Chain A
Amino acid sequence: MKGWIWRPITKMPLLDLSRANAPLRRVPAASIYIVSAGWAAWLFYLAATGGLGVEPIEALEHRYGLLALQILIAVLAITPLRQFTGLSLLRFRRAMGVSAFGFVLAHFLVWALLDVGAWGAIAADIVKRPYVTLGMVGFILLIPLALTSNDYAVRRMGAIRWRRLHKLGYLAALFGAVHFIWLVKGLQFEPLIYAAILLFLLSLRVRSRKSRAA
């Protein structure tokens, strides 16, 4: 188990939130799945009944995609959060990662089935439109991660190989962020902010590796 845990960069947390750990231990990790599935279903219901505005296909597609990116970023923030605040959300990481994948899948399905709607056009978009290609690659990268998000896979693969594989999460999240930057019109800040947060999280990880090697 030792290999799982990152050595803290600083001994003293910047902001001590570790007191929240004890009550959080009583929250079952499975509750993340219930909240995520419920949320996805609620958004679908809203879209089908006019609650997401007059153009529900685009709205639902964007809501699922944005949630996927946000949850992925949250997953990648769990380790630094523990380093800097002592708050440990490790127990929820697997459920959050699988939920993020679920939202990516939902995002893809809305796009493919409700928006584009024709196999030829779906294939053409994936091949011809670089931002779609990139989103698709990010989605495919997440598939092995979702499939190995269980104890059996961790045992089969061994912790080292498993961890190496799951570093793909960074790449997938970055592809998602660039996919978002690429699809907006004009110079807009929102997608750039997500990319900046991701690069920041990635830089923390690189620094933490360096300090560990020293």
Chain B
Amino acid sequence: MAKRWKNDLSIADVTPFAAYMNRRQIMAGAVGLIGATALGLGRANGQELVANSWDEITSYNNYYEFGTEKEDPRRNAGRLTTVPWTIEVDGLVDNPGTYDLAELIDGLEVEERIYRFRCVEAWSMVIPWNGIELADILNRVGVQDGANYVAFETVMRPDEMPGLRYPVLDWPYREGLRLDEAMHPLTIMATGIYGRPIPNQNGAPIRLVVPWKYGFKSIKSISRITLTRDEPFASWNRANSREYGFYSNVNPDVDHPRWSQATERRVGGGLFAGRQPTLMFNGYAAEVASLYEGMDLAAYY
């Protein structure tokens, strides 16, 4: 059972729920920075890790099923029905079937995980997720010998997802992990943020979070999980394999063909914050580098 990984960020790094509401008001004022610093609420540049505010996390999203602009998901995702929610589990598992979400995760431990989140577009946040280790869910359904990968699929509801009208990607959105990546204790299925139910625009009611990979690997609103022998379809990888590898581990040394991945813009830093260096495996090298031992990370990007 859970507790296999311990936060390197503590609750002390998270701005308290009430304070960040206040902070946003302070920041909006003319005395913004001075006032916030005096109250100990300021956010310095660089690598000081303070979780992003609820507003930041829920207003700046990539969820193309609801539109390609960053503010589209918050505007449009309200239509998504998340109760009831079922997840189809199939492929190389002992107990395949269509599970009610509550039934699938009943009794599994929900932990707080404060993770860095790095988008392939070179912006980043720190997000206090609440979630269950994916390994716990996979163990519950029973992974069979011969399964090497886990494939995920986002729900596809044209009536509730206006972005599906446009062929931005080959819908439904699909992603996949190698089984050892999926079983890694850092890999969680998030159901909450800041102790509240995860908002629709962030992938309600349940989404994957793989903190050492670019954000698009962390597929949202999952309706199907399939254990497979072969590497599964992954939407961005299929759309442009030169730009988006199947692994897509955060790596400052391997650039996206169109932009550098060496640095990132920390969301919430404001207009004058500049960029900060991107960390290998998004700062989780100690935990996950061994998964890729002997692999050429420039070839398997």
Residues of A within 8 A of B (CB): 47-50, 53-58, 60, 114-117, 121, 124-125, 128-131, 182-189
Contacts and interface: CB of A to CB of B under 8 A. Distances in A.
B contacts with A: majority SS: loop
Contacts, number: 73
Interface stretch (B55-63, B134-142, B187-195, B285-293): B55-63
A125 B275 CA distance: 15
29 contacts: A47-B271, A50-B28, A53-B59, A54-B52, A54-B55, A54-B56, A55-B70, A55-B265, A56-B270, A56-B271, A114-B271, A114-B274, A115-B265, A115-B275, A116-B275, A117-B274, A121-B263, A124-B260, A125-B259, A125-B260, A129-B258, A129-B259, A182-B258, A184-B68, A186-B169, A186-B239, A187-B239, A188-B166, A188-B168
Given A115-B275, A186-B168, A54 B260 contact: no
Contacts of B272: 48, 114
B124 to A, nearest CB: 10
Given A56-B271, A188-B68, 5 more contacts: A54-B52, A60-B271, A115-B275, A116-B275, A186-B169
Given A129-B258, A186-B64, A49 B28 contact: yes
Contacts of A115: 265, 275
Interface of B: 24, 27-28, 52, 55-56, 59-60, 64, 68, 70-71, 121, 123, 166-169, 236, 239, 255, 258-260, 262-263, 265, 267-268, 270-275
A81 to B, nearest CB: 29
Contacts of A60: 271
B260 A121 contact: yes
A53 B28 contact: no
A187 to B, nearest CB: 5
B57 to A, nearest CB: 9
A77 to B, nearest CB: 25
Contacts of A58: 123, 265
Nearest to A55: B267
Q: Which of B59, B262, B274 has the most CB of A within 10 A?
A: B274
Contacts of B55: 54
Nearest to A59: B70
Contact of B60 (A48, A53, A114): A53
Given A48-B271, A54-B55, A55-B70, A187 B260 contact: no
A186 B56 contact: no
A96 to B, nearest CB: 27
